[in-house]
Amino acid sequence: MARLSLDDYADASGADGTPAASGADAAAAARGAGAAGDVRIDDPGYLVGVPDEFQRLWTPHRMVYIQNGQQPGADDCPFCVAPTMSDEDALIVARGTHAYALLNLFPYNSGHLLVCPYRHIATYDEATPEEIAEIGSITQTAMRVIRQVSKNDGFNIGMNQGAIAGAGIAAHLHQHIVPRWAQDANFLPIIAKTKALPQLLGDVRAAIADAWPKD
């Protein structure tokens, strides 16, 4: 699409000396000035709404949560589906016998991992001793690997049990491992509800998976 400036709208005066159209009329005239579908109006004076100082961060991938709700159905749990996919497609960094680790698709920080049992259970008290032991072992290994790869200064580790407690996927147990740096908090999360993530998920997954100890 062509980007229009004010010069591409109606002239300051028409050919007969009459004032040029303004507002919606000028916008309509501008749309007719070029080929169909060839025009984009980029001057806020010709758009609907009141301009302000805010930037808009468009996140269409979150429509799945808005349209369907945060809690998936019993047959489409993402933590049950992920192990059936390739490591790259599911963002899995390590697989164990009873549990596995994968990147959070909506990370708080780069390297934000989730440790999940393969079994579809909701809360920690439903886990077997073997599942608990492997979740703990994978968590310890993840901490060592992330520290080696990312040189972070600390971690937030925890589980949200149930939707009322803030669990995004309440039906499938998962533990968060969030690396933290001494100066990783800035004004964006506080005033703009936005996190700046310097690495792409695929690159983070590859770095952690490559550094994960091989059996």
Backbone angles phi, psi at 53, to 5 degrees: -90, 0
User: Which of 112, 172, 174, 176 is flagged as catalytic?
Assistant: 174
CA 162 from chain centre, in angstroms, equals 22
Q: Do strands 39-40 and 2-3 pair parallel, antiparallel, or not at all (unpaired)?
A: parallel
Q: How many CB atoms lie within 10 A of CB 43?
A: 14
Q: Using CA atoms, how far apart are residues 169 and 58, in angstroms rounded to an integer? A: 23
Centre a 10 Å sphere on the Cβ of residue 41 and count the other Cβ atoms it contains.
16
Q: Which token pair is 118?
A: 């393969």
Cα–Cα dist 209/94, whole Å? 7
Of 152, 111, 117, 156, which is closest to residue 137 (Cα–Cα)? 117
Residue 77 in contact with residue 169, Cβ under 8 Å? yes
Q: Decide: helix, strand or coil at residue 47.
A: coil
Residue 174 is a catalytic residue: yes
Residues assigned a catalytic role: 174
